[in-house]
Each structure stands twice: as C-alpha cells, then as structure tokens.
Amino acid sequence: MSTLSATSTPIQLSSRADFEAYRDQAVQRWASLWNGNQTVVSVGIGSCSVAKGALDVFAACEAALQGQEGIVRQVSCDGACWMEPWIEVKRPGQPPVIYGNLAPSEISDVLAGRLEARAIGVRAEQPLGSIPPLARLPFFKHQQRIVLANVGVIDPDSIEDAIARGAYSAYLKVLFDLSGEEAIAELTASGLRGRGGAGFPAGIKWESGRKAKARPKFVVCNSHEGEPNVYKDRRIHEGDPHRILEGILIACIACGAERGYNYIGGEYPLAIKRFRKAVQDAERLGLIGKNVLGSGKNVAFRVRTGGGAYICGEGSALMYSIMGVRGQPRTKPPRSVEEGIWKRPTVANNTETLANVPDIILKGGEWYAGIGTEKSKGTKLMTVQGPLKTMGLVEVPMGITLRTLIEEVWGGMRDGYRFKGIQTGGVSAGPLKEEHLDLPIDFDSLTSEGGMLGSGGFAVFDESVCAVDYARYLTAFNRYESCSKCVPCRLGNPALVEILDRIRLGRGAEADLPLMDRTSKHIIELSLCGLGQVAPAPLLGMMKMYPEEFRAHIVDGVCPSGVCPISADDAVLAAGD
C-alpha cells in the first residue's frame, strides 16, 4: 500500500512546448493511476468532512490496505454534505464506487466488499450490481458541473492532477493564441454575470479595465465569503484552487494587469492553505512571474486574508483592506475599474465568476451562453441550510425552480419537519413561501416577490421557526457587521434590533410595525453601501410574508412557535398597562 501525495514540482518551464510536454506526462500518469491493477481509494477531506471524522477514515483506509496492492489519496469534499465522510473505491476492472456516511470501524468491510449497504453510487453510466449510477441520484442528476468538474476528483494539493484534468490550458491559449480583446469578446459573448450577488456583466467590467489608461493595473478576486449560510467559494478553494488561480491569471493578461490578488476570508484556514500551495506550485512551474513561458508577458500574484468582517466583501472596502487600511466602503464614482487599489484601475470579480472563465475561453462564449436562461447565462453554485435530507453545495443551470431544488436535489424535508419558508439572498433579501416554489432561480425572477438570488445561499426553515425571532437574527447580523461609517446604517439597524427585542419580550405596540417599515426605508435609501441598502430587507420580507406572527406577538402577547421569551404573564401585564 502507498499513500499518494502531491508530487514535487519540477524546474521552471520556459516555453509553451515545455508546458505541453509536462501536460502530456501528467495526462499519462493520471490515466495509469486509474487503469492499473491496484485498488485506488480516494478520501474526501474538507473542512466540513474533517469535522465529521474524515481524517480518521483516511487513517483507517491506510491501515486496511497495509501490505496490499493499493493507493490511498486525498481529494476534497464534492458538495454532498449529506454523505460525509465518504470514500471512492476504484477496484481493478471496475468503475469507481462511492461509499458514504462511514465510520472508521467500517472501512475494512467496505474495502473487502462486505458492506454494500454503505454504497451511494457508481461513477458509470450503468449500475454495478445493485449500486445505481451516481448521475441518476436526485442530488446529482440535475447538476451540470463546470466550476465543480474537478472538485472531489483531483488531489487539491497536486498541480499535476489539475493540469492532467485541463488546468492552465485556457491560460496557455490567452498567453499565445488570443489577444486581450479577443479573450474579453468571448467573455462578453458568454453573458457571464457576477456571481457575488450584484450580477454585473463580467465582460463589460473587463473591457472597462482594459481601456483604463492609468498604470499599473490590478485584478482582485473577492473570496471574502462572510454570510452565515454561504460556503460555495470555500468549497472551490478547498477542491480546485488551480481553477480560481487560472481565472485570475487570465483576467490579468486580458485586462493588461501585471498583478493579481485573491482576498480570502480568514475563517477558511484549509482554503487558504490549499490556495497558497497552488500559488507556490504555479510559481515554481513558471506560470507566474516574468516572461511567463516565454510569452513576453509578466504577471505577479499575492494572497491576502481578511479578519472576518462581512463588510470587506463590499468591493471598495475589500480594496482598502488589501492596502492595509480599515475596510470601509467609499462613495462612487470613481468606479474601481478607474480608481481601485492604490488609486489605480482594478478589476474585481467574485471567486465563482473567475472560476467559470477557463471553460469559457476553451469552449467559447457561445457554448456558455447556451446554458441557463435568456438573461442569466450558465450555471450557478447554490448552498442550503435547514432540515433537508440531502443538504450540500450544488451546481445547476440557471432557471431551475426552487421546488426542484428543495424537493428533489436537496431531498425534501426531513421526517418530522414541515416546510414553512426559504430565506433567499443570504442576509440581503426576504423569504419566500410554498406558493413561490415554482419560480425559476435567476438574477431577476425572485425579485418581484421580495426574494433574491444573491450569491446563491438559501436557508430552508420549518414551522418551529418564529418569523419574528428569525428576523431579529438576520437584522442583528447586519447590525454587528455594519462598519458604522454612515449614520443610517450605524443607528438604524440597532434601532430595528431594539424594536424586535421589545416585540419578542411581549412589550411591542402596533405602532412598532409602521415604525420598523419607515426606519427600514430610511436605511435603504440613505445608506452609503450595499450592506446598508439591503440590511432591512430580511425584516421587511418577514413582515410581508408572516404578518400574523408579528401581530400575535404584539396583540395577543404570544409567540405561535413557542420560541420567543413571551409568557402568559407578559400578556397579562401588557393588558393591564
């Protein structure tokens, strides 16, 4: 038995031919790994699966194969949180089989083929005995994996694995075969819009950055994912960091920037570790630096980590933080493509946006535009929290309905739970109810009902959740994450939390409802940045969708869900007053 670890990076490659030769060797090695006469065991190791015992499972796999012909390798989690810890077993002459929800004590039986009950699916078009194809399972069958194509497949610490699966081929094309204008034309043709929430067309942003006359120019990847129910960017970093790096490098070449940055939230230690490793390997291989592969083009790269402030996900605040200044937003114009880092043109995109770029360059903008809807092209990574059976990160075409996601992909509600609503847009929009589940998910369709796609983070809640209490949680998050630079956000959000606390304690008045509505509108209309402009949206959405619960707290002095600290004595005292 051997443990397959990331291979050491060779001496720098100095030409296109060198890279192509290295890629051919990597492809051959990858093919030999899967076509040999040995058992290959891949263990999904990510920050989520580690918390569920994945490292112990990895050690158990090594122990079980000791003295046998086999290889144990690490891959990342593939988004299916519901089956962690999981392993993939490729036996000689058979397709790989995924086994999930494993305990270390079960590994020996699994590898010996005595525990088929733990088999989730097989990576093949046809069943293997009673084991169904993975692609036919509801969680996977609606997915179209572009960004996640290598997640859970390659060793994230191996640049050789990544290159064998196509990494840096698009970068090579931009270095040697396409001009900056041609690369941007493909991006524009794709219809790719920003995946961080705003949905701004990436092609327009890149074109503006390329046309900016000031020098030097910069490209920034916004990987500061600070919302409590969103974890898509973390998974890309942990599973396929080279895809992100390649997207940033392509943006640098296309926009004429000689330095790229990735700004990662400090709460993601494994993501930071794996991405730094990717950068170091790319530098040693010669993909970053001066005269890259003899192309005459230079690109430098830096990784920056944040301290966890949600406000630093806002573009201008992020740039201040990169410069070592307190992360607070500024007024616009000038836009960042005119004046960003160190008052120089800066193109800033979300992690997922840049992770789509390599495939667009390789396959063409027209190919990408054929996926999704008329105004929302491509796929979207979406995450969920709540009492669902098969939770996790998925990549689905734009336009899929909420009902398909909730009832099929995510498996529906767990036994004993009844659907009440789904919080959309992270902490930046309102909830939707049962009657809205047939709406398509894209940048526009949810807005008319008070919802929002945002960065793709959803939270499903059941009838045990109190709308008032949940609104308080979401409003308090925005209160604590406010940078306090502008008065409406600094004072308005704490005021809303105080009113909601009064209602939760049975001290609310009917006049509090129009007061919250009026205060919210002032915050939205007068705040400086996007955080304040959407901070009251979850509260307004809860008031719109569940008005009876707010009135029950205020008029009847009771919490219908039994969550809030209201008691019968409170109701009596309120009536006596």
Phi, then psi, of 133 in degrees rounded to 5: -60, 135
Q: Are 318 and 197 in contact (CB under 8 A)?
A: no
Q: Among the residues of 345-428, which ranges form H helices? A: 351-363, 365-369, 402-403
pLDDT of residue 4: 65
DSSP one-letter string for 218-242: EEEEEE----TT--HHHHHHHH-HH
What number of other Cβ atoms are within 10 A of residue 234's Cβ? 25
In 3D, which of 384, 342, 563, 351 has the Cα closest to residue 472? 563
328 CB-side CA count, 13 A: 12
Name the strand (E) or helix (H) holding 130. Answer: none
The encoded tokens of residue 521 equal 């509108």
Hey, what CATH topology would domain 379-462 get? Ubiquitin-like (UB roll) (3.10.20)
The secondary structure of 181-201 as a DSSP string is HHHHHHHHHHT-B-TTTT--B
* Alpha-carbon torsion (85, 264, 316, 528), positive or negative: positive
Give the model's pLDDT for residue 69. 84
What is the rounded CA–CA span in Å between residue 151 and residue 563?
A: 39
Residues with Cβ within 8 Å of residue 336, at least 6 apart in sequence: 315, 316, 319, 345, 346, 347, 348
Question: Residue ranges per domain, the chain?
Answer: 2-127, 166-369, 379-462, 467-576
Are 489 and 549 in contact by the 8 Å Cβ rule? The answer is: no
Taking only Cα atoms into account, the Rg of the chain, rounded to an integer number of angstroms, comes to 25
> How far is Cα 215 from Cα 12, in angstroms, rounded to an integer?
28
Distances (CA, A) of 182 to 168, 330, 355, 433: 18, 33, 19, 45
Token pair for 177:
């075969």
CA angle, 441 then 442 then 448, to 5°: 85
> What pTM value is reported for the model?
0.94
* Torsion sign over Cα 386, 392, 395, 401: negative
Homologous superfamily of 166-369 in CATH? NADH-ubiquinone oxidoreductase 51kDa subunit (3.40.50.11540)
In this predicted structure, what is the pLDDT of residue 2? 63
pLDDT along the chain (577 residues), means of 10: 59 92 97 92 96 96 90 96 97 95 96 93 95 96 97 97 98 97 97 90 95 95 88 95 98 96 93 97 96 96 90 90 91 90 95 97 97 95 96 96 97 97 92 96 92 92 96 95 92 96 94 97 93 94 97 94 75 46
pLDDT of residue 36: 83
Among the four given CATH numbers 3.40.50.2300, 3.30.110.30, 3.30.530.20, 1.20.1440.230, the one describing domain 467-576: 1.20.1440.230
Instruction: Pull the structure tokens for residue 253.
Output: 């070449």
- DSSP classification of residue 149: T
Can you say whether the dihedral through the CA atoms of 561, 563, 569, 572 is positive or negative? negative
Render 29-68 in DSSP notation, one character per residue. HHHHHHHSSSEEEEEE--HHHHHTTHHHHHHHHHHHTTTS
- In total, the chain counts a number of residues equal to 577
Phi, psi of 498 (to 5 degrees): -65, -40
Handedness of CA 493, 497, 502, 503 (dihedral sign): positive
> HSE-up of 508 (CA within 13 Å, CB side)?
33
User: Contact 88/122 with Cβ under 8 angstroms?
Assistant: no
For residues 532 and 516, give the distance between their C-alpha atoms in angstroms, rounded to a whole number: 15
Tokens found for residue 235: 């998974």
For the record, the structure tokens of 518 come out as 């009026």
The answer to whether 376 and 440 are in contact (CB under 8 A) is no
Specify the fold of 2-127: Glutaredoxin (3.40.30)
Q: How far apart are CA 529 and CA 485, in angstroms?
A: 10
Cα separation, 415 vs 402, in Å, equals 20
- 289, containing H or E segment: none
Write down the pLDDT at residue 226.
81
Residue 241 near residue 275 (C-beta atoms within 8 A): yes
Q: In Å, how far are 145, 206, 281, 488, 501 from 332, measured between CA atoms? A: 36, 18, 38, 18, 35
CA triple 505-511-513, angle to 5 deg = 75
- In sequence order, the 6+-apart residues with CB closer than 8 A to the CB of 360 are 170, 186, 187, 190, 192, 367, 368
248 sits in which H/E element: helix 241-255
Contact status, residue 360 vs residue 191, Cβ threshold 8 Å: no
Contact 340, 322 (CB under 8 A): no
Rounded to whole angstroms, the Cα distance separating 395 from 142 reads 9
pLDDT of residue 498: 97
| Consecutive H or E run containing 2 | strand 2-4
